Amino acid sequence: MCKISDRMIAIDTEYHCDDMGKIDNVYCVCTSDNKGSHFKKWTSGSKDADILTEIAGFHGIENPIFVCHAFDKAERRALKFLGVENREHDYICTWHLAKMLQNSFSKRSDRIKAKAVTYESDTEAALESSTIKAKAARSLSYAGLCKSLLEVDIDTEHKEEMRKLCILNLTRGNEQQIMDYCADDTKYLLPLLEILSKQYYAALKGSFCPLRPGLFDSITFGDCFDYLVKQASNINLFGEIADKGLPVDMKRVAKVKRNALKYREQMKADFNAKYPESFITKKDGLLHENTVKTQAYLSELLKAKGLSNSYPKSDKTGKWSMSSDTLKDYFRDQDNFGEHYRLLNKMTRLLNGVSKQSDSPFNYIADDKLWYESLQPYGTITSRCTPSTKRFVFGWHKSLYGIMNPKPGKWLVELDFGSEETFVQCCICQDSVYNDIYNSKDIYLAFANKMRLIPDEDWNNLPKGELKEKYSDVRKRIKSLVLGLSYGMGAEKLAKRLGLSQQLAEGYCEMFSKILHRSTQYKSRLGDLANHRRAFSLPDGFICATAKGNNNTTTVGNWPFQSAGGSILRVLVRELDKRIQAGLKANVLATIHDAIFFEVDEGDMGTINTVAEIMRTTANKVLHAPKGWSMKVGEADVIKHGDIWCTDNQTFVEQFKALLNYQSK
């Protein structure tokens, strides 16, 4: 029988948040089991670290698994506020499970918003349930999923009424009513989990795992819950990291707030001096674009670069796209209209927010820390992290990283993997040629040499610095080519993007495929695998469903390598946590795509080197790297107390200093 374990206890909490969204009171905790027994407890104004033990005793369940609907956003934080040590208990999150089931390689652009992925298969779970035909789930809310999967209508009006009492802190005299509502919200959690877990099992069994092929070929229905518990454990661990906040300098923050609008106006004036009449400031105090002018300047730039035939247009307006991603993709040079426009727009949005109290990213700063509270380690289709950009400083313009400042006696450190996705591809594809390129003087110059664009004499005899200077234009072109082809770009698009003839672009594609023939062969098999497997998966049970002949080939081709990066980071965070519990003097404060951001004692290079070694060994282990192969770890970026720091480009530091010390002319 495909039934959920008797260990499951559905749990819900009601709480109050302060102006920053941090929980400052938990009103009640309510639970139910699969026998229909309900536990209700009013906890307002108190701490109760042993409440889960009390609940387990009430239901008569040893080692329970607590099932909630929004673990990271609600129960994890609420129980932690009560004093519960969450890592000592097991959880499953139905919201995360439902969201994961929507991940699909379908070509439909609205796949995530429109419907949940459902499965019909000959697995034991599907046969037991007479094929699963859940209706489209247009909402991942508890009420929405109950409606679509259980055909149950939740009284949302009453739900909103009760939530309003909690939000406005009007609970006195309404305690029993709120507890009854909270308990009622657990009523359908276990039936919901049963349906979702059957869909999950149907997808996971026989899925393709690029890091451990065949791992899920013989999985049982009962094993599924182990993977769901592990995912919740990772969510908890990343949440614990985010809860710490990032140290900031309040004096710098005050200066930025004071000068925000003045500096924005100066940036606008500098931009308009070079590109007249591009932006104007209207009565609402915000910058507004002169579309006719900006489109004309962009059109002139595209014509000069020979990109008019390849540059995309906006679906909404039919004009040249001015999106940040498109501009960044096409214009990386600092001295052109596209890059200037992109940076001005990004800074303008932030500075407008800083100047308006209601929408300021600085609203989440308190006690000399920026509180961001969430890293969402399974946030994307490839399971990469997706922290909130409004709260997360690393999602802002780089010049504003300078608000961070460690306390006296501390350093802040960023360590990242060196060309992570390249080495991931080397290992998954078992491509020794690519591994040689990865370990060469420079990946892009090495490709240029193999494509006969750099003579062997120069490649063998010139140091890296001289090579990069002498062949800077070649390197820039080859970098675009390598990145484009690695992410599935075809010859036609490549020709337009780089301003090449179709024949030359096809020649480059052919050379690239021959150089990396092992990788090319592996990627060509992925499409076939996607058409014959229910899903692609990771060793921790994260899945992305196939669309049976309607797969997006680019997404399929990139998924194993991108998702492996997410898997490496999760294993790394767990390993660092174990080492820190054992005495390693590092304090992890954030993860940034393929990097770790942490705090150490001033001058503690030994700990920095230890973290770097843990990163190397963890990545090699996750990827099953062949003997002699190893992931690179970059040089540590260190922020010392009093430093103004920003990665990659000194101009961002200069821009932040200008913002701090703005003087009107």
How do residues 405-455 score in pLDDT, each as one tens digit?
999 999 999 999 998 999 999 999 999 999 999 999 999 999 999 988 999
Residue 68's SS3 state is strand
Query: Of the candidates 608, 413, 440, 433, which has an alpha carbon nearest to the alpha carbon of residue 518?
Result: 433
What's the average model confidence in pLDDT over 66-75? 94
CA 14 to chain CA centroid, Å, is 28
pLDDT band of 554, cuts 50, 70, 90: confident
Q: What is the pLDDT of residue 247?
A: 96
How confident is the model over 240-249, as pLDDT tens digits?
Answer: 999 999 999 9
pLDDT at 550: 85
* Measured distance CA(481)–CA(7) in Å, rounded: 53
H/E stretch holding 32 reads strand 23-32
Closest C-alpha among 544, 551, 509 to residue 527: 551
Residues present in the chain in total: 665
Per-residue confidence (pLDDT) for residue 334, from 0 to 100: 65
| pLDDT value of residue 3 | 57
Q: What are residue 26's DSSP bridge partners?
A: 15
d(CA 65, CA 6): 9
**Mean pLDDT, to the nearest integer, of 292-303?**
90
CA distance 631 to 526: 24
pLDDT at residue 220 tops 60: yes
Contact 248, 404 (CB under 8 A): yes
Q: If we measure between CA atoms, which residue out of 255, 220, 535 comes closest to residue 381?
A: 535
* In the predicted structure, residue 461 carries a pLDDT above the cut 80: yes
pLDDT at 31: 97
Q: Which residue has the higher pLDDT, 480 or 337?
A: 337
Give 279's strand partners: 289
Going by pLDDT thresholds of 50, 70 and 90, the confidence category of residue 69 is very high
The per-residue pLDDT for 53 is 96
∠ at Cα 590 (536, 544), nearest 5°?
10
Question: How far is C-alpha 107 from the chain's CA centre?
Answer: 21
> Residue 257 above 90 pLDDT?
no
Residues 6+ apart with CB under 8 A from 352: 260, 264, 286, 287, 359
Percent of the chain predicted with pLDDT > 90: 54
- On whether the CB atoms of residues 546 and 531 are closer than 8 A, the answer is yes
Q: Mean pLDDT, to the nearest integer, of 465-473? A: 90
The string of pLDDT tens digits covering residues 137-162 is: 347 889 999 999 999 998 889 989 99
Strands 65-68 and 90-93: parallel
**CB of 573 closer than 8 Å to CB of 591:** yes
Contacts (Cβ under 8 Å, ≥6 apart) of 229: 65, 90, 91, 92
User: For the chain, how far is it from start to end, CA to CA, in angstroms?
Assistant: 77
- Higher pLDDT pick, 288 / 118: 288
DSSP 236-283: HHHHHHHHT-EEB-HHHHHHHHHHHHHHHHHHHHHHHHHSTTSEEE-T
The DSSP H or E segment spanning 340 is helix 337-355
Decide if pLDDT at 219 tops 50: yes
Q: Is 200 helix (H, G, I), strand (E, B) or coil?
A: helix
Q: E strand or H helix at 589, and its extent?
A: strand 587-592
Average confidence (pLDDT) over 104-114: 57
pLDDT at 358: 66
What is the distance between the alpha carbons of residues 607 and 636, in angstroms, rounded to a whole number?
Answer: 11
Q: What is the pLDDT of residue 133?
A: 32
What per-residue confidence (pLDDT) applies to 346? 80
What six digits make up the tokens of 318? 């039919």
pLDDT of residue 250: 93
The residue whose two tokens read 């390129």 is 437
CA distances from residue 404 to 77, 245, 364, 387, 517 in whole angstroms, order as listed: 25, 11, 14, 17, 45
CB 293 within 8 A of CB 312: no
Buried b (16+ CB within 10 A) or exposed e, 417-455: bebbbbbbbbbbbebebbbebbebbbbbbbbbbbbebbe
* pLDDT above 90 (res 398): no
**Across residues 60-69, what is the average pLDDT?**
95
Q: Count other Cβ atoms within 10 Å, centred on residue 568.
A: 24
pLDDT of residue 110 exceeding 90: no
pLDDT for the residue numbered 38: 94
* pLDDT one-digit tens code per residue, 491-529: 777 776 676 778 888 888 888 888 989 998 998 899 889
Work out whether strand 246-247 and strand 90-93 pair parallel, antiparallel, or are unpaired: unpaired
What is the pLDDT at residue 490? 75
Over residues 195-205, the mean pLDDT reads 94
For the cut 70, the answer to whether the pLDDT of residue 560 exceeds it is yes
- The reported pLDDT for the residue numbered 633 is 96
Task: Tell me the CA distances in angstroms from 261 to 265, 404, 662, one per residue in order.
Answer: 6, 21, 11
The partner residues of 33 in beta bridges, in order of sequence, read: none
**What integer pLDDT is reported at residue 551 of this predicted model?**
86
Residue 113 has pLDDT above 60, yes or no: no
Tokens encoding 293: 């002018």
The partner residues of 412 in beta bridges, in order of sequence, read 599, 639
- pLDDT, one tens digit per residue, over 577-596 is 999 999 999 999 999 989 99
Q: What is the pLDDT of residue 639?
A: 93
Query: What is the pLDDT, as a whole number, of residue 125?
Result: 36
Average pLDDT over residues 597-609: 97
Q: Which residues, 6 or more positions from 365, have their beta carbon under 8 angstroms from its beta carbon?
A: 248, 250, 253, 371
Of 504 and 651, which is predicted with more confidence? Answer: 504
Residue 351: per-residue pLDDT: 82
Mean pLDDT of 20-27: 91
Average pLDDT over all residues of the chain? 87
State which amino acid sits at residue 427: C
Residue 664, pLDDT score: 60
Cβ contacts of 119-126, under 8 Å, gap ≥ 24: 119/199, 119/202, 119/203, 119/534, 119/545, 120/202, 121/202, 121/534, 123/201, 123/202, 123/205, 124/2, 124/221, 125/2, 125/198, 125/201, 125/202, 125/205, 125/221, 126/198, 126/202
Residue 433 CB contacts under 8 Å (≥ 6 apart), including other chains: 515, 516, 517, 518
